Amino acid sequence: MNDLPFWKSKTLAEMTVAEWESLCDGCGLCCLNKIEEWDSGDIYFTSVSCKLLDGESCRCSSYENRWDFVPDCVQLTKENVPDIAWLPPTCGYRLVNEGRDLYWWHPLVSGDPETVHAAGISARGRTINENEIDIDDLEDYVVDWPLTVGAKKDEEEA
């Protein structure tokens, strides 16, 4: 009998729908607006969140119907995770795809959906809703913290 948790014993492709959905740690970082430079392909995170992101829970307020409100919302799939360069370095989907383990604060490890926020990994308290800004000013909100939130922990483990 295999006593390993599913994220250590299965590939993304082998996961059930429930297992797949539970890999989301609720950080909200993927729901931040990004700017892509067309010529270089470089991607920059902003502190501007999707209009559907609940700033407290860091979850989508209309997950099942999000495409009705945000037609260009990118759905993570078992097939496209390897190709999405902007997934935060702490993202459970990215970690499992890369053969790495989930962090201690991930709800699947800690058993508590609040640990992602307590560890300072999530977007909670760091964003402004896209409905509250002039979209022409988006580049004024470029930030690097979505790419560095797990850096201290990675350095400690090295």
What's the number of domains the chain is made of?
1
- Pairwise CA distance, residues 37 & 69, whole Å: 25
- What strands, in cross-sheet order, belong to the sheet with 128-129? 32-36, 43-49, 128-129
Domain that holds residue 123: 6-147
Q: How crowded is residue 101: how many other Cβ atoms within 10 Å of its Cβ? A: 14
Q: Taking the model in full, what pTM does it have?
A: 0.88
Render pLDDT for 29-83 as a digit per residue (tens, 0 to 9): 999 999 999 999 899 999 999 999 999 999 999 888 898 888 888 889 999 999 9
Structure tokens at 69: 């409100």
- The verdict on residue 153 lying in a domain is no
pLDDT digits (tens, 9 = 90+) for 96-116: 999 999 999 999 999 999 999
Residue 42 within a domain = yes
52: three-class secondary structure by DSSP: coil
